[in-house]
A and B are shown apart, each in its own frame.
Chain A
Amino acid sequence: MNIRRIIKKTILITICLTVGLYTTLFAKKEIRIGVLYDYTGPLAGAGGVAGSDGTQIAIDMINERGGVEGYTIVPVKGDAQSKPDIAISEAERLINVENVDMLIGFYSSAQCVPVSAKVDSMKKFMWMTICISSAVFKDRDLKYAFRPQVHSDQFGQTAPEFLSYYAQERFGKSPQDLRIAIIHEDGPYGSGVAGSNEAAANKKGMNVVLKEGYSATAPDLSSMVTKLKRARPDVILHTGYNPDITLFLRQAREQGLRYKALIGHGAGYSDIDKLMGTFGEGVNFTFNVDPVAGQLLDSASLAPGVGDLTKEMLRRYRALREVEEVRSHVSMGFNHTWILLNDVLPQAISKYGGYDAEALRKAALDLDIPEGGTIQGYGVKFFPPGHQMAGQNMRSSPVIMQYVGGKTKIAWPKSIQTIDPVLPLPKGHPYAVR
């Protein structure tokens, strides 16, 4: 009886040990990453889905190359549904229920501001790919939140610099005589960019004739258009999402608003295919401030191999979606995910012994990619702890693109221009000053 029991126990222990050993030796090594974008709601079409496509392409490419230090990257998707409260609850679900090791993504600044505080307090690592509001980092001393993306202060400064350079040559006016109107949606994104627009315009001594915010879901913007008509701006600087951008452009056309240039700031202005489909010639020569779409850069100006990455991203995206112009949100999603998986994560594992928030944080702070080292041209170096913008990339920079005949060209900075900017709007344009 005793012998039988001993044999039984021996067999049981042997089985357990074998299973345990097998699991340890041959278990699939995985890193679960929570990917949080707006897959539904108004922000999905405004760039949320395009950004998530870019992220997915980067993950696929990394996995096809053998993963990160032998780990396969497993994306676990969460849908923020274009709502900050849902973004918070989805971030919590991904961390607490799905047990993801880190969070990546985020299209909307209105989501990034509260989610980053929440995730940071949970001591989890958060990597933001698209949202731009400077308020995400400014004076908040976040420890585990990082963003290689451009921030809204830079967004807002670019257009006044550009206008200041061309004021005399193209408008026949000094920058101080240039009449500027600033309109924006009233969330952190629009308010952040508009505030920076105004500060930069004031610094250049420009004449800001109107600055006004509105809700992105407002059903009517006609009173704002009327005021713009009365203010007679030469240039309108607009920051919005969708559908407010199309509502503004439609009502502006119906109410006979005229201007010499319209400069948008990302979001809905990035989707040139859709804008052309809606307004045709009306959006020709519109400018858009955004991080550059990778395909617009000359690959010779980038580090070796970076141009090939862009080509592969484009090939895969075009196989996924039927589009003419690949919007910059795809580049943002791809590029920033690629930096995390190709540069930060391997360093965290090999140098700091894992991929917990602390190891990732140290690896992120070590990161030092020079100019030309990413598909969007800029380098990556994060502001260190203690800095007002700790966690924000100090080397990122936006460009100004111009839509000409349905194609996207780089109009600013001059060093990488692919077009001599068309300024002011030519006669005959639906919005041109008569």
Chain B
Amino acid sequence: MIFDIFLVEAIINGILFGGVLALLALGLNLVFGVVDVVWICYAELVMVGMYSIYWGNNHFGLPLVICVVIAIFAVALLGFLIHFLVIRPILGTPPINQLLVTGGLLFFMQSLATLLFTGDFRNLGLHLPVLELAEMYISFSRLIAFVTALLAMVALYMFLKRTYLGAAIRAISQDREVVVLMGVNPQRVYLVASALGGGLAGLGAALLILQYDVHPLIGISFGPITFMICVLGGLGNMIGGFIAAFVMSQLISLGGFFLETEWGYVIAFVFFIIMMFIRPQGLFGNRS
């Protein structure tokens, strides 16, 4: 059994990577929990946010903070529009239609990004400081992502618990038929949830661009794993998704540390498949 400072570093890196994944899963879960539609194209919204920040900062010279705010609002607007123009007309159709439509949207957004921005890899060229503890180095950009994911989770929880709109969102995710009798307009709630989900994708974009190059296919790296985390945690269950993100990231990190990097992913995905046999509703989902 290996137990050394490098193992501790691997665990910490797993936790920090989990923060990134948790934030991505948060928005996707929110949309699914409320609207009951899986946005297969969620990671592509993140890509749009990353491009907004890149262009704002690199080409228009806007301060990074302003770019982040613009990206959050721009992707929130995109989420709103996706629901209004694409999802709303097919809400009553079988789930497979909704999956196919959002899948089509994924390819549309990837291709449009390639046309507009080419396949080039772009980044802000930022180098954030690194925290050095003993022989361990902790990436500041990942630390920011982790803390932001925690804050976003708490803020979302407070919003859902303490506001009328939050209560309406929770109510609609519990029973979308009865809630109409209570005077809630589901269409309005759907739009708000989609915009919120989009905003969270924008926030995720702000954190990813500190660590990754943006290119039209960045979604390939994050889309599948985010979706799996949401399913593992119980689709629509935000706390479940949050915890599942850290479970998966630890499996990837420690599996990669003890075996080969590739094995980390293999172990995580095998774990996911086994869990789907044991608990198809996800770790924290309700059997329904």
* A residues adjacent to B (C-beta < 8 A): 38-45, 48-49, 82, 186, 212-215, 217-224, 226-227, 229-230, 242-243, 246-247, 250-251, 253-256, 274, 277-278, 280
Distance, CA A229 to CA B17, complexed state (A): 19
Given contacts A44-B119, A219-B225, A277-B125, contact A213 B262 (CB under 8 A): yes
Which residues of chain B are within 8 angstroms of A42 by Cβ–Cβ distance? 119, 121, 215, 217
Extra contacts, 4 of them, besides A82-B119, A212-B260, A277-B125 (Cβ < 8 A), are A49-B118, A219-B222, A220-B252, A278-B123
Question: Which residues of the other chain, A, contact B139 by a CB distance below 8 angstroms?
Answer: 251, 254-255
Give 7 A-B contacts (CB < 8 Å), ordered by A residue. Answer: A42-B217, A45-B215, A220-B249, A223-B14, A224-B256, A254-B139, A256-B137
Q: Is A278 a contact of B253 with CB atoms below 8 Å?
A: no
CB-defined contacts of A251 to chain B, threshold 8 Å: 139
B2's nearest neighbour on chain A, judged by CB, is A230
Which chain B residues numbered 168 to 215 have a C-beta less than 8 Å away from chain A? 211-213, 215
Q: Which B residues fall within an 8 A CB radius of A?
A: 4, 6, 9-10, 13-14, 17, 111, 114, 118-121, 123, 125, 127, 130, 132, 135, 137, 139-142, 211-213, 215-218, 220-222, 225, 249, 252-257, 260-262, 264-265
How distant is the Cα of A243 from the Cα of B123 in the complex, in angstroms?
A: 11
The CA-CA distance from A215 to B261 in the complex, in Å, is 9
**Chain B residues with Cβ under 8 A from A255's Cβ?**
9, 13, 130, 137, 139
Contacts of B254 in A (CB 8 A): 223
Are the C-beta atoms of A40 and B125 separated by less than 8 Å?
A: no
Residue of B111, B211, B255, B261 touching A250 (CB-CB under 8 A) = B211
Inter-chain contact B217/A226, CB cutoff 8 Å: no
Question: Which residues of B have CB within 8 Å of A39?
Answer: 119
Q: Quick one: closest A residue to B226, CB to CB?
A: A219
Residues of chain B within 8 A (CB-CB) of A218 are 221, 261, 265
- Nearest first, the 7 closest Cβ-Cβ pairs linking A and B are A223-B256, A44-B119, A256-B137, A254-B139, A222-B13, A214-B261, A219-B221
Residue contact B132 to A247, C-beta cutoff 8 Å: no
Given A41-B119, A42-B217: A254 touches B6 (CB 8 Å cut-off):
no
A-chain residues with CB within 8 Å of residue B220 when the two chains form the complex? 217
B9 touches A226 (CB 8 A): yes
Task: Using known A-B contacts A212-B261, A224-B256, A254-B141, determine if residue A242 contacts B213 with beta carbons closer than 8 Å.
Answer: yes
**Closest chain B CB from A58 CB (angstroms):** 22
Contact A253 B127 (CB under 8 A): yes
From A221, A230, A247, residue with most partner B Cβ within 10 Å: A230
Residues of A within 8 A of B262 (CB): 186, 213-215
Q: Provide the residues of chain A in CB contact with B252, threshold 8 Å.
A: 220, 223
Which of A213, A223, A251 counts the most B-chain CB atoms under 10 A from its CB?
Answer: A223
User: Which residue of A is nearest B132, CB measured?
Assistant: A256
- Of chain A, the residue at the smallest CB distance from B141 is A254
In the complex, which residues of chain B have a beta carbon less than 8 angstroms from the beta carbon of A250? 211
Residues of chain B within 8 A (CB-CB) of A243 are 121, 212-213, 215, 218, 221
Distance in Å: Cβ of B277 to nearest Cβ of chain A: 25
Q: Verify A223–B132 contact, CB threshold 8 A.
A: no
Query: Whole-angstrom distance from the CB of B125 to the nearest CB of chain A?
Result: 6
| Chain B residue, CB-CB nearest to A219 | B221
Contact: B123 with A227, CB < 8 Å? no
Residues of chain B lying within 8 A (CB to CB) of residue A247: 212-213
- Residues of chain A lying within 8 A (CB to CB) of residue B125: 277-278, 280
Selected contact of B257 from candidates A43, A49, A213, A226, CB within 8 Å = A226
Chain B residues whose C-beta falls within 8 Å of the C-beta of A242 in the assembled complex: 121, 213
CB <8 Å contact, B119 and A222: no
Contact between B121 and A45, CB atoms less than 8 A apart = yes
A227 touches B6 (CB 8 A): yes
Given contacts A226-B257, A227-B257, contact A40 B216 (CB under 8 A): yes
A256 CB, min distance to chain B CBs, angstroms: 4
Question: Shortest distance in angstroms between B155's beta carbon and chain A's nearest beta carbon?
Answer: 25
CA distance A44 to B137 in the complex (A): 34
Q: Are A223 and B215 in contact (CB-based, < 8 A)?
A: no
A48 nearest in chain B by CB position: B119
Identify which of A43, A44, A253, A274 gathers the most chain B CB atoms within 10 Å of its CB.
Answer: A44
Instruction: Using known A-B contacts A251-B139, A255-B137, A255-B139, determine if residue A226 contacts B211 with beta carbons closer than 8 Å.
Output: no
Report which residue of B111, B121, B139 has the largest number of chain A beta carbons within 10 angstroms of its beta carbon: B121
- In the assembly, what is the distance between CA of A82 and CA of B140, in Å? 33
> Closest Cβ of chain A: how far from B139's Cβ, in Å?
4
Supposing A220-B253, A242-B213, A274-B121 touch, asked if A40 and B114 sit within 8 A by C-beta, the answer is yes
* Given A41-B217, A243-B121, A247-B212: A213 in contact with B260 (beta carbons within 8 A): yes
The closest CB in chain A to the CB of B254 belongs to A223
A222 lies within 8 A of B123 (CB): no
Assembled-state Cα–Cα distance A255/B252 (Å): 17
Name B121's contact: one of A48, A220, A246 (CB within 8 Å).
A246
Q: Collect the chain B residues with CB atoms within 8 Å of residue A38's CB.
A: 119
Closest B residue by C-beta to A210 = B260
Question: Chain A residue with minimal CB distance to B140?
Answer: A254
Asked if residues B264 and A223 are in contact (CB atoms below 8 Å), the reply is: yes
Residues of A with C-beta under 8 A to B249: 220
Is the Cβ of A215 less than 8 Å from the Cβ of B118? no
Given A40-B119, A42-B119, A215-B265, A223–B221 Cβ distance below 8 Å?
Answer: no
Q: B46 to nearest A CB, angstroms?
A: 12
Measured CB to CB, the nearest residue on chain B to A220 is B17
**Which residues does chain B contribute within 8 Å of A274, judged by CB atoms?**
120-121
Report the bound CA distance from A242 to B120 in whole Å.
10
Closest to A247 in B: B212
Task: Return chain B residues, CB-CB under 8 Å to A41.
Answer: 114, 119, 216-217
**A229 vs B140: C-alpha distance in the bound complex, in angstroms?**
19
A222 to B7, CA, bound (A): 12
In the assembly, what is the distance between CA of A224 and CA of B225, in Å? 19
Bound Cα distance from A44 to B119, whole angstroms: 6
Provide the bound-state CA to CA distance between A278 and B209, in Å: 13
By beta carbon, the residue of chain B nearest A274 is B121
Most B-side CB within 10 Å, residue of A43, A49, A254, A280: A254
Q: Known contacts A45-B120, A214-B262, A229-B6; is A223 also within 8 Å of B253 by CB?
A: yes
**CA of A186 to CA of B260 in the docked complex: distance in angstroms?**
12
The CA-CA distance from A171 to B130 in the complex, in Å, is: 29
- Beta-carbon contact of B261 and A224 below 8 Å: yes
A380 to chain B, nearest CB (A): 31
**Which residues of chain A are near B221, meaning CB under 8 Å?**
217-219, 243
